[in-house]
Amino acid sequence: MDSLSNNIFSYYRAHFSELSFDKQLHFSSRLKLWTDDPFAAEMLETLRPQATANENPKQVLGDVYQTMLDTPLSGLENAGAIRAPYFAKYPNLRAINALLFRATFLQTVFGIDARHEVYEIVSEAELRSLATELLEDTGALTALSTYAVNFLYLYSRNFAHDDTLFDPKIFIETVARGYDFSDYSHIQLYNYLSTHCVLGETLFYARPLPEKYAVTYMQMMQELGKVLNDHYDEINLDNKFEYLVCCKIVGLESPLAAKIEAEAEKSISPDGTFLIDTHNKHPQTTKTNLELSEHRNVLYIMAHRAFTA
């Protein structure tokens, strides 16, 4: 219900200073892009000096890229064993992903075009080569899911400006057929693959879906909805909310919306007005405080507001 999402939004506004910089930036950037929220816009101005290193994108991007190169794989969640061989095959993918993400948000949130600085770190030829290789590697697309999809969309749509590099139908007709839904890890990977195709096409809430692919993305969410319905009790609340956000983007009235809403209403934290994840077979029991619940709650707020990009 909208009143619960409004109450959660009010609670996060009231406790915003208790969040880390990264969570403040995530929360406010998503709501600014999603619905041009005035509170989010005000907070982003406050965060701008740190987020842009005082308008020095080269420093920001260099730090992001190096930090991810130095981050071990051992801490990765979600299907780590399935993904490990492909992370070894594409050792720079995580760092390149982080680089393109940060450059895209510098552009869409703060109006800073940092593509030149990106190419000083990773050449355009290297990015094109990685995209070509991934698109020919169905096993990698299936296993890496979010990581591969995010890179392909950010590169093709925002850097190469080439929306013909791939047709998103490949993710329905080829990649998604490689999942075994008797395996929870495969359900997760399929969920991430499908939702991040939609999010990637919007450059993460910065633009509407292009009309020529609208039917494909509608089909993608319809098929994902059937899988979520069949395995509902196995899916965590974050994944369910991200699905609802994508339904908003494609214009689908989800038949699961009422069921997910009923679960949300039972999931209010005893420590404050925010949602925790408890009513499924794979709850996120390590993410129950205000800080670590931010991702879940901003998705819930977004799912109750119109997408106005």
In this predicted model, what pLDDT tens digit does every residue of 234-244 receive, in sequence order?
999 999 999 99
Same domain, 289 and 172: yes
Number of structural domains in the chain: 2
Kindly state whether residues 100 and 214 are assigned to the same domain: no
User: What CA dihedral angle connects 36, 41, 44 and 48, to 10 degrees?
Assistant: 100
Mean pLDDT over each residue of the chain, to the nearest integer: 96
For the cut 70, the answer to whether the pLDDT of residue 232 exceeds it is: yes
* pTM metric for this prediction: 0.96
Structural domain boundaries, residue 102: 52-164
Binned at pLDDT 50, 70 and 90, residue 268 comes out as: very high
Tell me the residue ranges of DSSP E strands in 204-290.
Answer: none
Q: What is the pLDDT of residues 161-175, one digit of tens each?
A: 998 899 999 999 999
The answer to whether residue 172 is domain-embedded is yes
Instruction: Please check the confidence at residue 9 and state whether its pLDDT lies above 90.
Output: yes
pLDDT at 74 over 80: no
Average pLDDT (243-261) is: 97
Q: Is the pLDDT confidence value at 282 over 60? A: yes
pLDDT tens-digit readout, 20-48 = 999 999 999 999 999 999 999 999 999 99
Are 177 and 302 part of one and the same domain? yes
Residue where a domain terminates, one of 164, 184, 212: 164
Q: Is residue 235 part of a domain?
A: yes
Domain end: 139, 164, 189, which one? 164
User: Do 200 and 275 have their domain in common?
Assistant: yes
